C-alpha cells in the first residue's frame, strides 16, 4: 500500500532573492572578475578546517555555518547564521556542500551549479541528484577530495556545465490554489477521505506548504 493515496505533481517551491547579485557581492568585497563560491555544509560534522590553497586563484568563498572560533583564511569569509541564503546563491558562481530540497530547487531556479558530496542514508538524494544532473546543474565530488580540499577540478567542471532549468517556479501559488479548492469542497480527487468527509489534514498540510513559499 503506498504511503499516499493521491500524488499531485506541482512546480518547484523556491524562495526568491530580495537583493541583487551586485549588491551582495559588493557587501562581501567580491571584486569584478573574481569568482564566488558558496560553501554550505550545515547540520553535518564541522570538524573540517579550511585552507587558503583549497580555492583556485581569483576565487573567494562565503562560508555558511562555520565552526565557532575557527579562523578563516583571507579568501574565505564567514556569513551570519541567519543570512538569507537565496541572496547568496544568486550572487555566487558555484555552490559546494550537501544537497537537500532547498539547495536543489534554488540552484535550478537561479541556474547556479552545485558541487555536492554524497549523503549516506538520505532517501531524497537520488531524486534531487537526478534533477541536478538532468538540468546540467550538479557535479559530484569524491568525499576524500572534499575532505582534503581538492576542489579545483570540480569547480572548473562546474563552471563548464551550463545549468539550464526552464520549468515553472510557482509551486507555492499552485499549492495555495489546491488548498483553496479542497477547503471549499470543489470537485477534486483529493478533497475527501474514504468516508466522504473533507480531508482536513490535507487542507492543513497544503496551507503549511503554501505558507513556506
Encode pLDDT of 21-64 as tens digits: 999 999 999 999 999 999 987 655 556 678 999 999 999 999 98
pLDDT at 126: 93
Residues 152 and 58 in one domain: yes
Tell whether the model's pLDDT for residue 8 goes beyond 90. Answer: no
How many beta carbons lie within 10 A of that of residue 54, not counting itself?
22
Residues 27 and 126 in one domain: yes
CA angle 28, 18, 170 (to 5 degrees): 135
pLDDT at 154: 97
pTM of the model: 0.82
pLDDT at 41: 77
Residues 29 and 104 in one domain: yes
Sign of the Cα torsion 42, 45, 49, 52 reads negative
Residue 16 domain-assigned (yes or no) = no
How many beta carbons lie within 10 A of that of residue 168, not counting itself?
11
Higher pLDDT, 185 or 98: 98
Sign of the Cα torsion 120, 126, 128, 132 reads positive
* pLDDT, mean over the chain: 85
Residues 35 and 123 in one domain: yes
Residues 64 and 103 in one domain: yes
CA angle 85, 91, 93 (to 5 degrees): 110
Least confidently predicted of 94-98, 137-141, 162-166, 186-190 = 186-190
Q: In angstroms, rounded to a whole number, what is the distance separating the alpha carbons of residues 43 and 39?
A: 13
Residues 106 and 194 in one domain: no
pLDDT at 1: 43
Residue 29: phi and psi, rounded to 5, are 70, 35
Tell whether the model's pLDDT for residue 186 goes beyond 90. Answer: no
Counting the structural domains of the chain, the total is 2
For residue 186, what is its C-alpha cell?
470543489
Q: Considering the chain, what percentage of its residues have pLDDT values greater than 90?
A: 58
Its domain, for residue 191, covers 171-211
Is residue 140 within 8 Å of residue 116, measured between CB atoms? yes
Q: In angstroms, rounded to a whole number, what is the distance separating the alpha carbons of residues 60 and 33?
A: 11
pLDDT at 87: 97
Residues 135 and 200 in one domain: no
Amino acid at each position: 500500500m503506498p504511503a499516499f493515496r493521491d500524488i499531485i505533481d506541482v512546480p518547484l517551491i523556491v524562495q526568491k532573492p530580495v537583493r541583487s547579485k551586485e549588491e551582495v557581492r559588493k557587501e562581501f568585497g567580491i571584486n569584478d572578475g573574481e569568482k564566488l563560491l558558496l560553501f554550505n555544509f550545515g547540520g553535518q560534522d564541522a570538524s573540517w578546517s579550511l585552507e587558503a590553497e583549497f580555492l583556485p586563484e581569483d576565487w573567494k568563498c562565503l562560508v555558511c555555518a562555520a565552526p565557532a572560533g575557527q579562523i578563516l583564511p583571507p579568501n574565505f569569509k564567514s556569513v551570519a547564521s541567519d543570512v538569507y541564503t537565496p541572496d547568496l546563491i544568486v550572487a555566487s558562481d558555484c555552490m559546494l556542500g550537501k544537497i537537500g530540497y532547498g539547495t536543489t530547487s534554488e540552484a535550478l531556479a537561479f541556474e547556479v551549479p552545485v558541487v555536492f558530496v554524497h549523503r549516506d542514508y538520505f532517501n531524497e538524494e537520488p531524486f534531487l541528484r537526478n534533477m541536478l544532473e538532468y538540468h546540467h546543474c550538479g557535479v559530484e565530488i569524491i568525499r576524500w577530495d572534499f575532505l582534503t580540499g581538492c576542489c579545483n577540478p570540480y569547480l572548473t567542471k562546474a563552471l563548464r556545465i551550463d545549468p539550464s532549468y526552464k520549468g515553472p517556479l510557482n509551486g507555492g501559488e499552485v499549492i495555495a490554489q489546491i488548498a483553496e479548492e479542497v477547503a471549499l469542497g470543489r470537485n477534486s480527487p483529493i478533497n475527501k477521505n474514504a468516508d466522504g468527509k473533507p480531508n482536513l489534514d490535507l487542507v492543513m498540510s497544503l496551507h503549511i506548504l503554501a505558507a513556506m513559499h
